[in-house]
Structure 1
Amino acid sequence: MRYEFADCVLDIDRHVLLRGGETVSVEPQVFDLLELLAQSPGKLVPREEIIERVWQGRFVSDSTISARIAAARKAVGDDGKTQRIIKTIVRRGLQLAAEVSRDDDAGSGKGEHTQQLRYARGRNGQAIPFTLFGEGLPVLRLGSVVHDLEAEWRLSSEHKRLTDMADRFRLLRYNKDHSASSNSNHEAVYSHRIDEILTVTEAAGFERFSIVGEFGGTFPALHFAAQHPERVNKLVIAGGWAEGRDHRADAQQPDSIRTLIAEGWQTPGGGYALGSTLSYFPDGPLDDVRQMVDEMQSLYSREQKLHYRDIGNSTSALHILPKIECPTLVLHGRHAAVHPLSEARKLAAGIPNASLVVLETGNQIPLPGNAAYDTYLQSLTAFLEAPD
């Protein structure tokens, strides 16, 4: 059940009040008062009914009632003078004066999202495809196993993860400019990524938003949060790393993943290509990983995959971590091997206001069907929806 009025959404099932797309923290009694008023828009709700519903009929002082009414008005952007939303009927009760739309089936359509591509015009004149769907807090997702909106939508595991997120948030994704990734100057690449993010968030109407950075989206997310703290509400880094393989103690060991790509990426359905991707998802599900490999082989040449591997190996974000001001959550698999848990600990230790949740999986990120997937989604959701 969900009530929409003015610029507010009162989501009963999730016990959340949104105003202008942002979560508003309210006390339980204030939420109950708003729910009671929203159920009878335009009608007088008597004082006796308010006491019965909000305080279960217990004796309560006038000052306590007045305080809860004032808090309810503040939460929805109203005040006692204008009373444009919550109106006092003197000596009788309250009335919700705003028009209310009611969605009785708000929960029944979950997962039934349609992806529609839109286009933003970048600074270089290039069209940037992006997609925006879902309702709630604005969230920008960066990074994926495939950097293509349509291919990602076709993947069973990614489709499920995206729709689960869109059931909770207003989710924005975009296709990055692959030509920029060919630049060997990392700072130039991330500067280009920041320009892309500014372009698509402006096109989507996101002024202040949260970012979920996954896989290779880790570094654009970190750089943007460090350079534009005024735009980022919260930051989630899932399956990320602070320093690439070249900076780690095992840098002298052969890069087995690079070898698998070099030897077998061009063989459709081959074991080498599958093995390189299973390194990130040893817990599977295997069918989903096979589907990922099929999509990636159709999108990227062996040279491109090797180049992306080299970029990930050579990148380090340690120098920008102290510059990130927003609350940050790091999610990471305990038994992840490609980017081990020690890298997640570096991220959480280097970012001033960060916390770490360790997931019981060997996958870099748990996929739907993994035992850790629900914990992953619940941790991400609780963090992003928690009051600032």
Structure 2
Amino acid sequence: MRAIYHFGEYELDTSRHQLRRAGAAVHVEPRALDLLCHLVKHRDRMVPKNELFDEVWGDRFVSEAALTTALRTARRAVGDTGSKQQMIRTVHRRGYQFVGPTTVSRAESAVDPVPEPETTVGPTPGRERQVIQFCTAADGTAIAYATVGTGRPLLKAANWMTHLDLEWVTPVWSHWLSGLARDRQLIRYDERGCGLSDWAAPSYTFADWVDDLDTVVRATGLDRFPLLGVSQGGAVAVAYAVRRPERVSRLILAGAYARGRRVRAGTAADREAAALDLSLARVGWLHQDPAFLRVFASQFLPDGTPEEWQEFIGFQRQTTSPENGVRFLEEFARIDVSDIAHLVRCPTLIIHSRDDARVPVSQARELAALIPDSRLVLLESRNHLLTATEPAWDEFLLHIDDFLRG
């Protein structure tokens, strides 16, 4: 027998780890759902903060801000807020208590004989609801782009490594898609030489990447929209926002940088390190050396497990050819938008992992200093690509939601 908790329009099945509203599943980030389940099961008492830390995060150290973020997400999932506190009440300096009027029903088994399809309330669509189309750049290169979800648009500039179809089934990107497409229409595309776009293109320059973004905007018929740039896609987004200020309403830069490693190398030692890094990458990518690929994966996901690194390696092998991988890395090292970033005219949110092992946090500070109407948010993480299970992921989505609403 398993318990199902009913409060208002909601029902919470703690065994299945599922929240429903009026019969339809509600998407809740995992940490926030863990917190909600624990509060509902122990609704007869105030739950101390330390207990929540232990139950939700185990022996992993997280900041008070992580608990606050998870609590905020849990409240929002059940239609509550910190000011109303109709469902979750704060006991000042001590903890929290679930106070929503609750009834409990019983079901026969905690295990379904036939698994239910995963669904969510609103536009948190899956792979099967995605529409993939193609447009053609001026030099004849075919660029694949995809739209998913409904609502106001969010355009994500291409970055490496992506694959519009396979992203849905890899833990590297799947949570990014479902999170970013929630309550909005997400438009994204594979850059030339990568994913479903043409792997054989006349050139692979930074200027080509900015042109390709412009091509996708024209193909989708977007007029004015917020633009997200991740990693080197951030520099592409900056250049496009400067080129088309009438198009970009808001700019979000995540794990981004204004200058590639070769450009920002200020000393002889830095230049030697940048050259060595690129030389190792050439050899590693061209020969698909397993040792190099593991190190490369660990730079993106330093807190990842060996299994996650293997998933990352398998995914990167499907996104592009070894030759193109080398071309990308060479061009990334030459990126420089530091001389035009001050021309960005829209509000800009810069989000960066405080201990990013791939792109140092100094690059985020540089972008924040260059772009006039910008604000910087640092997340407690070492990962260049945030994972679904770390507290920083929930914070990342909340900051984006707040910024786009603002």
TM-score bracket relative to the smaller structure? 0.5 to 0.7
- What residue in structure 1 maps to residue 236 of structure 2? 220
Matched, 1:315 2:335: yes
One-letter amino acid matched to 2:299: S
Q: Indicate how the Cα distance of structure 1 residues 288 and 137 shifts in structure 2: closer, same or farther if over 3 A, else same.
A: farther
Q: Indicate how the Cα distance of structure 1 residues 239 and 270 shifts in structure 2: closer, same or farther if over 3 A, else same.
A: same
Q: Sequence identity, in percent?
A: 26
- What residue in structure 2 maps to residue 355 of structure 1? 375
Is contact 1:213-1:238 (8 Å) kept? yes
CA distance in 2: counterparts of 1:263 and 1:278, whole angstroms: 17
Matched, 1:291 2:305: no
Is contact 1:145-1:292 (8 Å) kept? no
Task: Kindly provide the CA deviation profile for residues 299-324 of structure 1, in whole angstroms up to 9, marking residues without a partner as x.
Answer: 43443323222222222111011110
CA distance in 2: counterparts of 1:267 and 1:320, whole angstroms: 37
One-letter amino acid matched to 1:161: W
CA distance in 1: counterparts of 2:150 and 2:190, whole angstroms: 21
Given candidates 386, 391, 401, the residue that maps to 1:366 is 386
Task: Provide TM-score, normalisation by structure 2.
Answer: 0.63
Per the TM alignment, residue 365 of structure 1 is displaced from its structure 2 partner at its CA by 3.0
Whose radius of gyration is greater, 1 or 2?
A: 1
Q: Indicate how the Cα distance of structure 1 residues 154 and 112 shifts in structure 2: closer, same or farther if over 3 A, else same.
A: closer
Write the mapping of 1:332-351 to structure 2, written as runs, cut at 5 A: 332-351=352-371
Given candidates 168, 190, 199, the residue that maps to 2:183 is 168
Is contact 1:321-1:351 (8 Å) kept? yes
The total of aligned residue pairs comes to: 281
CA distance in 2: counterparts of 1:181 and 1:356, whole angstroms: 36
Given candidates 121, 136, 147, the residue that maps to 1:107 is 121
Is contact 1:277-1:293 (8 Å) kept? yes
Q: Indicate how the Cα distance of structure 1 residues 264 and 193 shifts in structure 2: closer, same or farther if over 3 A, else same.
A: closer
Is contact 2:158-2:189 (8 Å) kept? no
Write the mapping of 1:179-190 to structure 2, written as runs, cut at 5 A: 183=203, 189-190=206-207
Q: Indicate how the Cα distance of structure 1 residues 306 and 269 shifts in structure 2: closer, same or farther if over 3 A, else same.
A: closer
Q: Indicate how the Cα distance of structure 1 residues 286 and 325 shifts in structure 2: closer, same or farther if over 3 A, else same.
A: farther
CA distance in 2: counterparts of 1:161 and 1:375, whole angstroms: 13
Task: Provide TM-score, normalisation by structure 1.
Answer: 0.65
One-letter amino acid matched to 2:222: F
One-letter amino acid matched to 1:129: A
Write the mapping of 1:87-126 to structure 2, written as runs, cut at 5 A: 107=121, 110-113=124-127, 114-126=129-141
SS of 1:254's equivalent? Answer: helix
One-letter amino acid matched to 1:254: A
Given candidates 259, 265, 275, the residue that maps to 1:248 is 265
- What residue in structure 1 maps to residue 226 of structure 2? 210
- What residue in structure 2 maps to residue 149 of structure 1? 164
RMSD: 2.8
Structure 2: 5+ residue stretches without partners: 1-8, 10-25, 27-118, 194-198
Is contact 2:157-2:237 (8 Å) kept? yes
Write the mapping of 1:38-117 to structure 2, written as runs, cut at 5 A: 107=121, 110-113=124-127, 114-117=129-132
Is contact 1:148-1:175 (8 Å) kept? yes
- What residue in structure 1 maps to residue 404 of structure 2? 384
Structure 1: 5+ residue stretches without partners: 2-12, 14-104
SS of 1:364's equivalent? Answer: coil
